[in-house]
Amino acid sequence: MKRDVRDSPPDPFTPRVRAAITRRLLPWFRRNARDLPWRRRRTPYSILVSELMLQQTRVEQVIPYFRRFLRRFPTLRALAAADESDVLKVWEGLGYYARPRNLLRLARRLMAERGGRFPRTYDELRGLPGVGPYTAAALGSLAFGLDLPLSDGNVRRVLARMFALDEPRRERLDAECREIAAKLLPRGRAAAFNEALMELSATVCAPKRPRCDLCPLREVCRARAAGAPERYPRRRPRKPLPHLVVGAAVTLDSRGRALIARRKSEGLLGGLWEFPGGKIEPGETMEQCIARELREEMGIEIAVGERLTVVRHAYSHFTIELHAHFARRTAGRPRRLHCADFAWVPIARLRDYAFSRADLHIVEALEARLARKGD
């Protein structure tokens, strides 16, 4: 039965209730913390890698990536010495590729300017490549014990429920939550408190069907008292994502090698390899689109042949429908007009290169086609 928020427990801002929150949350965390690989051997570097991987990504998906990354680049020094393409290869499939590129820049900068040591103030951490307010606060509190509150989407959900925050505007809600998180933070215990709050949001205060009966904060939670935890935070209706229709050429030479191109470092999927192509223009056929894109991107003429596959993929801000067609070069030599690099690669070696998920589907389709031919 829904009750009114006025039936709520005592004001959670009083010192007594704030202390009660810490008293309940920290022992709960000690008893219930999951055994996650980044909690075993902690260094500022491993904390940073895990925090960057975990943003907008599920823990189960991150675990194998984290292990692989730390095996391949166990220290900041090892990472700083790596090639961008090797770093992207290990990150391949995890998405948000600006993160590994920035991580590499950060490692190189810290090695060159600070002998591999991280700075220990919020402002200096914030000045590192790819380190935004959340990452700086996570690194500062978890690695160096700085009294910095955290507020990401998960923590916001817990706080919006505990305090029945009805603010629909994301920026306002974020500001409110940061203020509340700062007030709740027990001085000198930021690392444990922040991590406990994140663990609670991940394992108990889930977006759907929160397990309030198991929650250490149930006595002070206003949304629970009102019988409507899922009402908070207020969700705005999602705008439909833009949908892009894209063509890509699988150009094979007489030795059966495929032509691939590396995207420029900046921007979406920067630094990754792809089957060259691009967005279809109004009035174009798919074949015309692919031929035009190869002319513009690499300066070659191609004859576009049969379709290999169509890949449908959702990115965070748009969806694509990627039509991959076989092609044959008819004139010109590839040049780096709108790509960072290109290569003719035997199909069996394509997996040595870092591709986006959508392009990996093309690799799979190509391998499957060859396997059928070989039967």
Decide if residue 162 touches ligand SF4 (CB under 6 A): yes
- Work out how close the CB of 262 gets to ligand SF4 at its nearest, in angstroms, rounded to a whole number: 45
Structural tokens at position 109:
């900068």
- In the complex with ligand SF4, which residue's Cβ is closer, 184 or 217? 217
Give the rounded distance of the alpha carbon of 183 from its chain centre: 29
- Concerning whether 51 is annotated as a catalytic residue, the answer is yes
Total residues at interface with ligand SF4 (CB under 6 A):
14
Give the rounded distance of the alpha carbon of 325 from its chain centre: 30
- AA letter at 135: T
- Of 99-107, 112-120, 207-215, 284-292, the window that binds ligand SF4 (rule: CB under 6 A) is 207-215
Rg (CA), the chain: 25
Where does the chain show beta strands of DSSP type E?
A: 243-251, 257-262, 273-274, 277-279, 301-314, 319-331, 341-346
Marked catalytic residue, from 51, 176, 199, 287: 51
- Of 146-154, 202-210, 259-267, 274-282, the window that binds ligand SF4 (rule: CB under 6 A) is 202-210
Decide if residue 223 touches ligand SF4 (CB under 6 A): yes
Residues 129-147: b if buried by 16+ CB within 10 A, e if exposed: ebbebebbbbbbbbbbebb
Residues 225-244: x where in contact with ligand SF4 by CB under 6 A, - otherwise, as a string: ----x---------------
Residue from the set 101, 156, 161, 263 that interacts with ligand SF4 by CB under 6 A: 161
Distance CA 31, CA 37 (A): 17
Decide if residue 366 touches ligand SF4 (CB under 6 A): no
Can you say whether the dihedral through the CA atoms of 89, 92, 97, 100 is positive or negative?
negative
- Which element (helix H / strand E) includes 93? none
Decide if residue 258 touches ligand SF4 (CB under 6 A): no
- Of 13-21, 59-67, 158-166, 189-197, the window that binds ligand SF4 (rule: CB under 6 A) is 158-166
Residue keyed to tokens 């209730």:
17
Decide if residue 215 touches ligand SF4 (CB under 6 A): yes
> Which residues are near ligand SF4 by CB under 6 A?
158, 161-162, 204-205, 210, 212, 215, 217-218, 221, 223-224, 229
Active-site residue numbers?
51
